[in-house]
Amino acid sequence: MKLAHCLFVFLLWCTAAVAAPPLLTPEQLQPLLAQPQLRVVDIRDEQSFAGGHIEGAQNAPYNEWLGPPENYGILPPADALVALVQRLGLTPASHAVVVSAGSDGTDFGAAARVYWMLKSLGVQELSLLDGGMQAWDFDGMAATKAVRPVEKSAYAPAFDPRWMTTREQVLQHVRKHDAVLLDVRPENFYLGQFKAPMALMAGTIPGAIEQDFTRWVQKGTASMVPIDEARRLAAEIRRPEGQDIVTFCNTGVWSALVWFGMHEVLGMENVTNYPGSAVDWVQAEPMLPVQNAPGRGTQIVQALQQAWKNLTK
């Protein structure tokens, strides 16, 4: 009996010690659906979810994870995040699998951003469905329109900031030149030729280097590149010994994708995401320095172009 008990405890320990893989294919996810601790978090809009979803999935549209209108990348209020986690029935023991529509790299980024937030909220077992719902459907996996209710949890997490960098911390990095500031936006953003609608100024954070986030996903999909290609992309980043890597974009979505690839998939340490990103940087008062800022004439043209887009929406 003692030997049997020891073997049982050992098997339990081994099971607990195996962390959930950060990426799951549809074939890997399907047999896990029967596990009681599994929670599939579908971040598509309500209409898409109602049209068909993975069995047992709970809908939490991506807009529920966003910050204020002036910058979606800023974290929502703490009580809103707690209420969302509880509604989904999540606890630290849950294995949460985040599912996006799977249309493109931005969808991947949205899923990675939710993954990053859930990790920061103490959910220890986390995965993304590689390729999202598009991959699930393409592989012929079953979908349902039935919604399985889950019991609301009492888990009230506090946000753990260890994988986040704030504006104030970025400013210190700029002054001390002691971190790699990685702008993962396409080059036209980095060079100040284009800006996000919420940004007050085009350009990038002083000292930042650029690596387009789209290189981390397979073309035309929301699937991550093979692991060897991810390693090559990470190796392109010249990282002085002991320095952190801070990823940023416009509002912390594309940068969450690159953070996910580096930190979660490749296991690189001291990689953080700046959630407010470039929009937050240029909204500071007084305004902080901007690298590659356009001239006054270009700024006026960009403002007029954005105003025209807003009028014609």
Domain boundaries, the chain: 19-159, 162-294
Q: What is the pTM of this model?
A: 0.90
- 162-294: same fold as 19-159? yes
User: For residues 74 and 66, what is the distance between their CA atoms, to the nearest angstrom?
Assistant: 7
- The alpha carbon of residue 232 and the mean position of all alpha carbons in its chain are separated, in whole angstroms, by 21
**Is the pLDDT assigned to residue 312 strictly greater than 90?**
no
Residue 104 CB contacts under 8 Å (≥ 6 apart), including other chains:
217, 220, 221, 222
Average pLDDT, the chain: 91
- Tell me which fold the domain 162-294 belongs to: Oxidized Rhodanese; domain 1 (3.40.250)
Residue 307 CB contacts under 8 Å (≥ 6 apart), including other chains:
none
Instruction: Give the per-residue pLDDT at 307.
Output: 52
> For 208-245, how does the pLDDT look when each residue is reduced to its tens digit (9 = 90+)?
999 999 999 999 999 999 999 999 999 999 999 999 99
Lowest mean per-residue pLDDT among 42-46, 111-115, 297-301: 297-301
User: For residues 277 and 105, what is the distance between their CA atoms, to the nearest angstrom?
Assistant: 18
User: For residues 85 and 79, what is the distance between their CA atoms, to the nearest angstrom?
Assistant: 10
> For 293-303, how does the pLDDT look when each residue is reduced to its tens digit (9 = 90+)?
996 555 555 55
Which top CATH class is 19-159? Answer: alpha beta
